[in-house]
């Protein structure tokens, strides 16, 4: 059985019947879990406090590519094997087909961070949307405008115009939260509306292979498709993460979910709010992991840091004097323990920032000064 990492939204509305059908024909085993320390009297007071700030997001987009996919593998093979007629594409040229293609609908989650209508969600929830509709817990609906998106961190900021102040939540530092702390997820799985699940922080700074800048909180609170963009709360009712992806062999929750840390969300949202885009730092090196043999050869107790495999010409790294074979052990005061620590640290540093790099060159410690560059969109 193949286990895959999936973004948890947008859940396609048309897919709900399929999920229900699969559930009805699959044996479900009830496995006792380890009890966590829940607040006295349960989570009802906490839910009542924060749930009004969590919103249901529905997006609309044109879907000509989806219709084209149905003409090829695996749909064509399925049709031939079982004798089921294939769906027909609209006749005409590509432009006509694009215009006649049915609109696709998907759902996700979000949370209000400002009473004036600013809402945070995932980039992949609103990416490519031609219309975004937001529904509050009290049933009010608004058309939303996308203020800005950041594919690098999968963060998006949208806005609705409301006549009255909206209920907003605040952030807490994800740096302060510990593995084992209680958390609560609120969202819109499979378009069902406000749903609450609880669990703990299972791990921090998790790399799930979805990109060079992975830095997720891992939780066992149940999250599913449609939970994307929803908040992960601490026991004080403050946001410590934004639910984004799950690791699953089936597409449903198996207790391994991932959230963008709140410290990252806040930093990106501040840029999106004032400029509509987020700018990330760029160093200009190709790196690889430090092997045990290399670590032993230069006298390291264990393999740590990022080994410079190549330096891009005319890059900030080249201007700072970095060379092939250098081992970067710290960047801007952040220790580089593992390979992915460096891209994270660089990406979250503002362009044009002057910072220091600690390196080992032929076993000798050095400190270099670098002016961080601007990551081009294609590098994201």
DSSP codes of every residue in 241-296: EEEEEEEESSSS-SS-EEEEEHHHHHHHHHHHHHHSS---EE--EEEEEPPHHHHH
Could you give the percent of the chain with pLDDT greater than 90?
57
Buried b (16+ CB within 10 A) or exposed e, 186-202: bbbbbbeebbbbbbbbb
Report pLDDT for 183: 96
Report pLDDT for 212: 67
The alpha carbon dihedral of 216, 170, 221, 137 has a sign of negative
Tokens 């004097």 belong to residue: 321
Whether residue 39 is predicted with pLDDT greater than 70 in this model: the reply is no
Q: Give the Cβ contact number of residue 312 at 10 Å.
A: 15
Which residues fall within 8 angstroms of residue 144, CB to CB, at 6 or more apart?
A: 57, 119, 132, 133, 134, 158, 159, 160
Nearest to 139 by CA among 229, 59, 52, 60: 52
Active-site residue (options: 53, 105, 154, 341): 154
Domain 281-379 adopts which CATH fold?
Answer: Pdz3 Domain (2.30.42)
Is 281-379 the same fold as 1-17+43-86+98-277? no
Higher pLDDT, 9 or 238: 238
How far is 218 from 203, CA to CA, in rounded Å? 5
Higher pLDDT, 295 or 183: 183
Report pLDDT for 299: 81
Is the separation of the CB atoms in 361 and 324 below 8 Å? no
Report pLDDT digits (tens) over 129-162.
899 999 999 999 999 999 999 999 999 999 999 9
How far is 140 from 161, CA to CA, in rounded Å? 12
Q: Any catalytic annotation for residue 228?
A: yes
Confidence of residue 103 (pLDDT cuts 50, 70, 90): low
Which tokens in the block code for residue 195?
């749903």
Q: Give the Cβ contact number of residue 274 at 10 Å.
A: 10
Calculated CA dihedral for residues 297, 302, 306, 308, nearest 10 degrees: 0
Report pLDDT digits (tens) over 186-224.
998 888 888 999 999 999 988 887 776 788 999 999 998
Active-site residue (options: 109, 228, 248, 253): 228
Q: Any catalytic annotation for residue 154?
A: yes
Active-site residue (options: 53, 105, 109, 124): 124
Calculated CA dihedral for residues 56, 271, 151, 10, nearest 10 degrees: 0
The upper half-sphere exposure of residue 177, i.e. CA atoms within 13 Å in the direction of its Cβ, equals: 33
Report pLDDT for 323: 95
Report pLDDT digits (tens) over 262-283.
999 999 999 999 888 888 999 9
How far is 232 from 156, CA to CA, in rounded Å? 16
What's the CATH number for 1-17+43-86+98-277? 2.40.10.120
DSSP codes of every residue in 168-206: ---B--TTT--TT-EEEEEE-GGG---EEEEEEEEEEEE
Q: Any catalytic annotation for residue 24?
A: no
Domain boundaries, the chain: 1-17+43-86+98-277, 281-379
How far is 13 from 57, CA to CA, in rounded Å? 12
Is the separation of the CB atoms in 195 and 171 below 8 Å? no
How far is 8 from 229, CA to CA, in rounded Å? 9
Is the separation of the CB atoms in 240 and 217 below 8 Å? yes
pTM as predicted: 0.77
């Amino acid at each position: 059985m193949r286990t895959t990492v999936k973004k948890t939204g947008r859940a396609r509305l048309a897919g709900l019947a399929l999920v229900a059908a699969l559930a009805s024909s699959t044996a479900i085993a009830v496995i006792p879990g380890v009890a966590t320390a829940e607040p006295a009297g349960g989570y009802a007071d906490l839910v009542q406090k924060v749930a009004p700030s969590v919103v249901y997001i529905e997006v609309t987009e044109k879907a000509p590519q989806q219709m084209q996919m149905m003409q090829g593998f695996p749909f064509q093979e399925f049709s031939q094997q079982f004798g089921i007629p294939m769906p027909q594409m609209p006749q005409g040229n590509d432009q006509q087909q694009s215009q006649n293609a049915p609109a696709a609908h998907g759902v996700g989650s979000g949370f209000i961070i400002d009473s004036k209508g600013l809402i945070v969600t995932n980039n992949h929830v609103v990416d490519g949307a031609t219309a975004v509709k937001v529904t509050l817990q009290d049933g009010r609906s608004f058309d939303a405008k996308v203020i800005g998106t950041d594919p690098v961190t999968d963060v998006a900021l949208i806005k609705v115009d409301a006549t009255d102040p909206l209920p907003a939540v605040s952030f807490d530092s994800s740096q302060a939260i510990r593995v084992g702390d209680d958390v609560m997820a609120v969202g819109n799985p499979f378009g069902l509306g406000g749903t609450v699940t609880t669990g703990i922080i299972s791990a921090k700074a998790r790399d799930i292979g979805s990109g060079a800048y992975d830095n997720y909180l891992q939780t066992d609170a149940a999250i599913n498709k449609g939970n994307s963009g929803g908040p992960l709360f601490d026991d004080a009712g403050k946001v410590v993460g934004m639910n984004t992806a799950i690791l699953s062999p089936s597409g449903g929750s198996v207790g391994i979910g991932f959230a963008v840390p709140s410290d990252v969300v806040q930093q990106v949202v501040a840029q999106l709010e004032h400029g509509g885009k987020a700018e990330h730092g760029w160093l200009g090196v190709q790196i690889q992991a430090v092997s045990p043999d290399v670590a032993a050869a230069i006298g390291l107790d264990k393999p740590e840091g990022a080994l410079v495999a190549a330096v891009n010409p005319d890059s900030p790294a080249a201007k700072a004097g970095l060379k092939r074979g250098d081992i970067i052990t710290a960047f801007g005061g952040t220790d580089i323990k593992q390979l992915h620590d460096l891209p994270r640290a660089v990406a979250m540093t503002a362009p044009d920032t002057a910072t220091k790099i600690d390196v080992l060159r032929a076993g000798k410690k050095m400190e270099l000064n670098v002016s961080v560059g601007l990551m081009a969109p294609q590098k994201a």
